[in-house]
């Protein structure tokens, strides 16, 4: 059955938002809950995962999460260096608590890290190892938390939420202490699973600094545990995702009363960035003059830069149809940028991260209500790679923004130029490249134009 | 090929007692018998070994020992006794323990080496997970027996076992040899169990009356066959042994749905209660009251 048949018209947009049912999934664009906790932990400098699982869980995620996140290795704490209890049959039958106890003890002794994230996979969850009790024995020796993340429980993106649940419930103090004005924490960007996480987070930090706000982006920062400990003292929390990190900011509001600002996506390009800065500035009482001066200065140069590739776009690929297949936040951001800043025409938007039912309409509305175009795209929730590909057949799009899975055959299958923007990305080494902010939007323009100009 | 049977029953229903007496009786009849206890409590074979327990298969796993000679211990009349064993209560996975123990016994030639005529698996009764269904699966037991009293929860466990048998039946799993009615005190209890087997397309192979002789022998650490060979109860077990040897029945039971089972049971329980009261008050039903 092609997806088109299952789509229903909802306020002018064809979508399966009400009837998306998932049974089996071929090559999903996410991994398991353990993988999400693992990647998130490795995003924290000074954080070390301690996997309580079979050996394959860690090695699998070297390929399934780390390399898939823009060919990134795991550093000293990840990949084949990952501490793992490597459970075998003996532990399944007799319990694996003793082996875990030894592993935590030796890891704390050997590793030069500050935060120890014990992550339970499928085996201990099935046999009922009392991991909390084992971890309790070490809480006075080091900053150690337990994240119960069996792979069958949820996907890797939800693993990010589980990680924050554990940090907030087990590590952060009951009292916030003194609140530091003009400071925010950033949530909603998942290390590795959001492939451009490093650059995007640093860009958001720099942008906010420009209007006098100190952003605690936690990941990528030296001494990550210090940044985690600073979370309660923020004046605001900011989440840039419709569902990832949302539970964390709600929990922090409940625990410390910290208000939060929710954005559906990471801001991409000048328009979204200006909107982001204005809203944050307003909430944190930054003088609007400061914000507007910064925006004007950035937009001046941004739009001059946009003129350079303007001829190529207008002469070679003007007003092109495009298709997006990406996780919620980035799908929203890219779709809006391409329509509202390049004048491209959205054909089909596929949301691939399997967001919870209760936020799907929110995602649909965000796309539907914020496109400055006469063309209304189909918005499809789909995690299965075969079905994602089927949904792309017989459509007019000339550009496909998705994972590297589609890279080799995009021209052959759809006659579309391919830009890899979402997990997994195996065909790019991603270090500083990002799509957030002013430079991010311009980088996307570079990628698009570079895909069809030249060589002579 | 040895005859391989699995005996299931709810915990405390007399499953290991029945199994050990059956093994002892079969042994007395001249068969070479191997009894494999598949219960983490590892007390299946104690009455065959003068009340003494033996190291278990999983003890060797625990010790990472490869010495498989420690697994088989001779009991009454040369019966080969094996206990699968399991984790300490409250940790690990006992079901996986049963799977691992049976795999270890089958793949290392332990059973072949002793070449018994009959192998009896004594299995924890509630088929709570795949591990405890292991002996039913293709290639292990040929026939399943289940021990039950007229207690509702015991019959409930039998009904669950029937569901397990049904599940594996499409894939060459073991079928039911029969139901052993245990701890029988009245003919009404027999009627109830018989009615259950009629309704589920199965059959009773033997009723075993409740007897203090059994308890006496258990306390002495022996089977009734060994401790009271001339008793009526020993003869009951010998009868059971003869029937098991001759029994070629392989029933595909049709278990009740849970709601139907409780509806069926409530009628019988009322009858049993009335019967009990009549016996207690020493009055005849429908008497004149004079």
Residue A258 and residue A176 in contact, taking contact as beta carbons nearer than 8 Å: yes
Q: With beta carbons under 8 A apart, name residues in chain B contacting A127.
A: 91-93, 96
Count structural domains, chain B: 1
Residues with Cβ within 8 Å of B192's Cβ and at least 6 positions away in sequence, in order, are B150, B268, B271, B272
The C-alpha atoms of residue A195 and residue A187 are separated, in whole angstroms, by: 15
Whether B138 is in a domain gets the answer: yes
| Residue B143 belongs to a domain | yes
Rounded CA-CA distance A157/A355 in Å is 9
Residue B262 resides in a domain:
no
The region that residue A162 occupies, defined by phi over 0 for left and psi between -120 and 50 for alpha, beta otherwise, is alpha
B3: tokens are 């005859």
What pLDDT is stored for residue A29 in this prediction?
Answer: 94
Quick: pLDDT tens for A66-95: 999 999 999 999 999 999 999 999 999 999
What domains can you pick out in chain A, each with its CATH number? 3-25+307-450 (3.40.50.1980), 33-154 (3.40.50.1980), 180-301 (3.40.50.1980)
What pLDDT shows up at residue B111?
A: 85
CB proximity A140 to B under 8 Å:
no
Q: How far is A52 from chain B (nearest CA, A)?
A: 14
Q: Provide CB contacts within 8 A for B49, sequence distance 6+.
A: B73, B75, B76, B81, B221
* Gap between the Cα atoms of A352 and A330, Å rounded: 10
- Most confident region among A16-25, A140-149, B254-263 by mean pLDDT: A140-149
CA torsion, ordered A145, A150, A154, A158, to nearest 10 deg: 20
Beta strands in B61-155 (DSSP E): 73-74, 80-83, 118-124, 143-148
Structure tokens at A13: 């947009």
Q: What is the DSSP letter of B43?
A: -
Q: Indicate which residue of B43, B59, B117, B126 is catalytic.
A: B126
> Is there a catalytic annotation at residue B220?
no
Lowest-confidence pick of A438-447, B80-89, B205-214 = B80-89
Is A127 in CB contact (< 8 Å) with chain B?
yes
Give the 3-state DSSP-derived string for B246-264, with helices as H, strands as E and coil as C: HCCCCECCCCCCHHHHHHH
For residue A87, give the chain B residue with the closest CA: B92
Helix (H), strand (E) at residue B271: helix B258-281
Taking only the tens place, the pLDDT of each residue in A405-417 is 999 999 999 999 9
- What pLDDT, on a 0 to 100 scale, did the predictor assign at position A4? 52
Kindly report, residue by residue over A301-316, the tens digit of the pLDDT: 999 999 999 999 999 9
> Which residue range(s) make up the domain with B78?
3-257
Tell if the CB–CB gap between B93 and A89 is shorter than 8 Å. no
CATH number for position B29: 3.40.50.300
Q: Give the ipTM.
A: 0.79
Instruction: State the Cα angle at A250 between A246 and A255, rounded to 5°.
Output: 145
Mean of all residue pLDDT scores within chain B? 91
In a domain, B66, yes or no: yes
Count A/B contacts: CB-CB distance under 8 Å.
42
State the number of CA atoms in the 13 A half-sphere of A145 facing the CB: 25
Judged by CB atoms closer than 8 Å, whether chains meet at B62 and A94 is answered as yes
Query: Residue B9 falls within a domain, yes or no?
Result: yes
Would you call A95 an interface residue with chain B, using a CB distance cutoff of 8 Å? yes
Grade residue A158 by pLDDT with cuts at 50, 70 and 90.
Answer: very high
What does the block give as tokens for A109?
Answer: 């002794």
Q: B130 in a domain, yes or no?
A: yes
User: Residue B23: inside a domain, yes or no?
Assistant: yes
Subunit contact A127:B62, Cβ cutoff 8 A? no
Q: Each residue of B57-110: pLDDT tens digit?
A: 998 878 877 777 788 999 999 999 999 998 888 889 999 999 889 888 888 888
B10 belongs to the catalytic site: yes
B266 assigned to some structural domain: no
Burial class, A195, CB count within 10 angstroms (exposed 0-12 / middle 13-18 / buried 19+): buried
DSSP state of A446: H
Is the model's pLDDT at A1 over the cut of 60? no
What is the CA angle B136-B141-B143, rounded to 5? 90
């Amino acid at each position: 059955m092609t997806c088109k048949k299952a789509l229903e018209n909802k306020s002018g947009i064809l979508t399966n938002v009400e009837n998306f049912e998932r049974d089996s999934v071929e090559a999903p664009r996410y991994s398991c809950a353990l993988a999400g906790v693992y990647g998130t932990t490795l995003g924290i400098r000074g954080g070390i995962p301690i996997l309580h699982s079979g050996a394959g869980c860690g090695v699998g995620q070297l390929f399934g999460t780390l390399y898939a996140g823009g060919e990134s290795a795991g550093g000293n704490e990840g990949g084949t260096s990952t501490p793992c209890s490597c459970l075998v049959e003996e532990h399944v039958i007799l319990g694996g608590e003793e082996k875990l106890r030894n592993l935590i003890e030796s890891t704390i002794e050997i590793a030069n890290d500050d935060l120890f994230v014990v992550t339970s996979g499928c085996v201990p969850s099935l046999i009922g190892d009392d991991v909390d009790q084992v971890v309790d024995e070490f809480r006075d020796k080091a900053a150690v938390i337990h994240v119960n993340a069996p792979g069958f429980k949820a996907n890797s993106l939800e693993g990010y939420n589980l990680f924050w649940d554990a940090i907030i419930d087990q590590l952060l103090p009951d009292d916030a202490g003194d609140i530091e004005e003009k400071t925010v924490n950033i949530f909603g960007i998942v290390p590795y699973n959001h492939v451009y996480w490093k650059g995007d987070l640093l860009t958001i930090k720099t942008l906010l600094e420009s209007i006098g706000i100190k952003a605690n982006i936690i990941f990528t920062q030296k001494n990550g545990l210090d940044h985690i400990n600073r979370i309660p003292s923020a004046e605001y929390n900011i989440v840039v995702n419709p569902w990832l990190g949302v539970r964390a900011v709600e929990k922090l509001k409940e625990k410390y009363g910290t208000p939060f600002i929710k954005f559906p996506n990471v801001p991409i390009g000048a328009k979204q960035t200006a909107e982001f800065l204005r809203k944050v500035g307003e909430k944190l009482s930054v003088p609007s003059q400061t914000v507007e001066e910064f925006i004007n200065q950035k937009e001046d140069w941004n739009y001059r830069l946009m003129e350079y590739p303007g001829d190529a776009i207008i002469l070679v690929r003007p007003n092109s149809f495009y298709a997006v297949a990406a996780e919620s936040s980035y799908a929203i951001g890219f779709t809006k940028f391409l329509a509202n800043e390049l004048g491209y025409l959205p054909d089909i938007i596929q949301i691939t991260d399997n967001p919870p039912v209760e936020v799907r309409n929110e995602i649909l509305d965000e796309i539907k209500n914020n496109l400055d175009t006469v063309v209304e795209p189909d918005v499809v929730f789909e995690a299965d790679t075969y079905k994602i590909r089927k949904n792309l057949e017989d459509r007019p799009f000339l550009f496909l923004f998705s994972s590297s899975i589609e890279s080799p055959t995009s021209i052959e299958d759809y006659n579309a130029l391919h830009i890899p923007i979402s997990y997994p990305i195996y065909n790019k080494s991603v270090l500083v490249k990002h799509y957030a902010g002013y430079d991010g939007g311009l980088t996307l323009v570079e990628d698009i134009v570079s895909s069809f100009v030249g060589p002579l | 090929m040895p005859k391989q049977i699995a005996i299931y029953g709810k915990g405390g229903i007399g499953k290991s007692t029945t199994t050990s007496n059956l093994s002892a009786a079969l042994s007395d009849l001249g068969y070479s018998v191997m009894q494999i206890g598949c219960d983490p409590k590892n007390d299946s074979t104690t009455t065959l070994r003068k009340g003494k327990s033996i190291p278990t298969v999983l003890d060797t796993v625990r010790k990472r020992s490869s010495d498989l000679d420690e697994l088989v211990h001779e009991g009454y009349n040369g019966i080969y006794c094996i206990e699968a064993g399991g984790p300490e209560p409250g940790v690990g996975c006992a079901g996986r323990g049963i799977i691992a123990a049976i795999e270890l016994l089958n793949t290392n030639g332990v059973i072949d080496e002793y070449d018994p005529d009959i192998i009896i698996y004594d299995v924890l009764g509630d088929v709570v997970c795949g591990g405890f269904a292991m002996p039913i699966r293709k290639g292990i037991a040929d026939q399943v027996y289940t021990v039950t009293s007229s207690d509702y929860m015991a019959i409930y466990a039998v009904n669950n076992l029937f569901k397990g048998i049904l599940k594996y039946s499409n894939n060459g799993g073991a079928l039911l040899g029969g139901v052993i009615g245990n701890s029988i005190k009245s003919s009404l209890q027999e009627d109830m169990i018989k009615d259950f087997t009629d309704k589920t397309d199965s059959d009773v192979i033997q009723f075993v009356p409740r007897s203090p002789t059994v308890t006496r022998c258990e306390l002495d650490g022996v089977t009734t066959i060994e401790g009271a060979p001339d008793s009526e109860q020993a003869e009951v077990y010998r009868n059971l042994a003869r029937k098991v040897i001759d029994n070629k029945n392989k029933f595909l039971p049709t278990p009740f749905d849970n709601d139907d089972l409780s509806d069926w049971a409530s009628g019988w329980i009322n009858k049993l209660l009335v019967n009990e009261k009549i016996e207690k008050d020493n009055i005849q039903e429908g008497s004149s009251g004079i």
